[in-house]
Amino acid sequence: SGKRFGVLRLDGGAAASSWLRGALLERLGPSFDGILEKAARGKRNEVAHGTGPADLVEVSEYGMRLVADLFEGQKTGLFLDHRESRRAVRRLSRHKRVLNLYGYTGGFSIAAALGGATLAVTVDVAKPALEMAKRSFEANAATLAEVDRGGAALEHEEIAADVPKFLAEDSREFDVIVSDPPSFAPNRKAKDKAIEAYSKLHAACMQRLAPQGIYVAASCSSHIRPSDFEASLAEGARRAKRHLQILDHHGAPADHPRLLSFPEGDYLKVYVTKPVRRRR
């Protein structure tokens, strides 16, 4: 539509939020046709300035078209902090079978398909999110038709399922697996349980990898430090009887700055790894 919309998340007390909202709208208002305020969990986002979109919106990211719902979607309707991660997965996916776990609206799956994947499977418990993934595949249909897949046709599946159950029941092997679960540690007390949950998830994913496969593991839990997440990767590899090589790791992109005094601001951790089966 050519219109510009933004989504703000305002945390703090009522007075602080009111002041911050006014300052932001004064500064950003002229740049956008509409600005939405991110609501509390489970509630619909509200229009804070101008008008909201009449329908779903399409976001352009490195030539990829992603469909988002700014009113009902989590965060801003897309996880924008993963754009460099999606770009990395796109580079890794040529002629590969790719599994996208906790896939939400399928951003990693679209990136993989545009990168030349022959199979992209998106797994999430939320059926509305998977419908958005289908819409995104439709939005990219013309570009996807031109991608080289080594003579193979693109297959994509959207599966509504609990991820641990899917990994236990689906016996297929994949060349690339992306795991980006919701926060396992909402508070510090949950840290130990979260590390255990990550370890179990890593092990299950590594056991579904084809030889020479790539495992992309992410955590958005601010209470899980990089050293904690690496420990969970090491434990997952031990349980899966794998040696683990870290090929790359990164956090949120440059438009997510943090204060030096606030290490929890480095909430996003993304590791690109290569698990190798141990010799007996």
57, 5 Cβ separation under 8 angstroms:
yes
| Residue in 48, 220, 244, 268 annotated catalytic | 220
Q: Report CA torsion sign: 120, 125, 126, 127.
A: positive
Rounded CA separation 157/155 (Å): 7
Q: The tokens 């092990």 sit on which residue?
A: 203
Rounded CA separation 145/263 (Å): 44
CA 30 to chain centre: 30
Compute CA distances 181 → 15, 125, 142, 162, 220, whole Å.
Answer: 34, 11, 30, 11, 8
Instruction: Reply yes or no on whether 205 is catalytic.
Output: no
Q: 123 forms bridges with which residues in the sheet?
A: 101, 159
Active site residue ranges: 220
